[in-house]
Chains A and B, each alone.
Chain A
Amino acid sequence: MNKSWLIKLLILLGVIALNVMPTLYANNDKPLIKIEQFWIMLPPAVAHNTAGYGVIKNEGNQADTLKSIKSDYASIMLHKTAIESGMARMIHQPNVTIEAHSELVLEPMSFHLMLMNLDKKIFSSETEITLRFEFEKSGVIEIKVPVRQPQY
């Protein structure tokens, strides 16, 4: 094996190492939760409830379970709207597991945050509130979420 072949082999090994390293790093058997695109519907002034939507991604290699969602300005549950034979019902989802490399999409007529007993002073106009998502393994993740008019 001449010198140039040796250099090529080393470069090849280097490239392989660079590609494999992040994978090895990611294979640390931990969930990696990302909370994205969340927003809360600005409710009518007389309403006591409203809903929130967004995406919870788990980019890690282990599942995680959403235990609770909290705010200082409303009581919050994760609900799912199910439509059967033209009838819609809401099902409380107390512990939702988000598998590794999957996501939970919250959208109208499906999974959604049900915000109840709203603090009317806060929900009277477009604003931003803090939500605390508590996961079994990832702990508490705090995000700021806009309260706004729906686009639909």
Chain B
Amino acid sequence: MLKLVLFSMLLLINAANVANAEESTLPILSGIGGEFSAIDADGKAIESTDFTGNVVVLAFGYTNCADICPFTLGYLKRLYAGLRAEEQQQTRIVFVTIDPEYDTPGHLKGFIGHFNKDFVGLSGTQEQIDYIVSLYQAEYKPLSVLEIPTQNIRRVNPKLFADEQEAKEDKASLFSHTVTLYLLDKEGYTRSLEYTGTPVNEFIEKIRGLINE
């Protein structure tokens, strides 16, 4: 009988150790992040508190970005694919555009959906975006030298009057921007700053740790 009790105690201690090992030890990074409102890729108003209960990986970017953002979203696609189905349900990959004038919700939906339809694209007014950027101590600025009036750079077909009307909508700028990936816990606190250089398995373990908290 004594042996059985001792064995049960050992099992309990071991189980507790395993549970502790799986929980996150990441500190809260105070001063980075906070509550905000935005417009999602379906055009609906959204609050950051809507993500409460989910671990969030938040990135900034824009759809005219040809190298950094597609690479980052490709990395996030691999990261998300590495999570188990039940973990994916508790994780939100959020891409906040820093070019809301160009990246309308519909445009953002098409861009993000190319990588993964579960990913959340956030746009909004310039003020909303600037506020989110400031909350996360992120930065962005137009590359004045590289502003691309996309119309007329390359013209294969003759210029039409309709092109003039489209030109206003088709004016794209290039930006420099923060490439940090913010890992937020289920309460919305920033717990870690990652990059596309972080090994995917290492990042997954951090997400797992926050899910298990």
Give residues in A with beta carbon < 8 Å to B.
41, 43-51, 72-75, 79, 81, 83, 86-90, 92, 108-109, 112, 114-117, 119, 150, 152
Contacts and interface: CB of A to CB of B under 8 A. Distances in A.
B123 interface: no
Interface of B: 63-68, 70-71, 74-75, 78, 107, 110-111, 113-115, 139, 143, 145-146, 148, 150-151, 153-154, 156, 170, 172, 174, 176-180, 193, 195-196
A29 B151 CA distance: 43
Nearest to A79: B67
B146 A92 contact: yes
Given A87-B178, A114-B66, 13 more contacts: A44-B115, A48-B64, A72-B156, A74-B154, A81-B68, A86-B179, A88-B176, A90-B68, A109-B68, A116-B66, A117-B148, A152-B71, A152-B78
B71 A109 contact: yes
B67 A114 contact: yes
Which 6 pairs of residues, A with B, have the shortest CB-CB distance?
A89-B176, A44-B114, A46-B110, A49-B66, A75-B154, A108-B71
Given A46-B107, A47-B111, A83-B179, A152 B145 contact: no
